[in-house]
Amino acid sequence: MQPMTLDNMPEFLTVEEYRKLFRRGRSSAFEDIHSGRVRALRLGRRLLIPRSEVHRLVQEALEGGE
């Protein structure tokens, strides 16, 4: 299985996939979501992060934003 990149990631990432991609701890990943820094969809008990949100975070970082 090849590693996940911006080019081959699924349409929605689990919190675990997000945390691995951004090398965040589990608590930090959930804090990102609950603070509103990362937008996520709640489907039942699951939180899913849209691929477009990952692209937004990368773009902000490249532009020198938070």
User: What are 40-59's pLDDT values in tens digits?
Assistant: 999 999 999 999 999 999 99
Spans of all domains in the chain: 12-62
d(CA 52, CA 58): 10
- Answer yes or no: is pLDDT of 62 > 60: yes
Look up residue 36 and give its DSSP letter: T
Name the token pair of 18. Answer: 């997000």
User: What are 1-28's pLDDT values in tens digits?
Assistant: 677 777 788 999 999 999 999 999 999 9
Among 41, 35, 40, smallest CA distance to 66 is for 35
Confidence of residue 66 (pLDDT cuts 50, 70, 90): low
pLDDT of amino acid 43: 95
Q: Indicate the length of the chain as a whole number.
A: 66
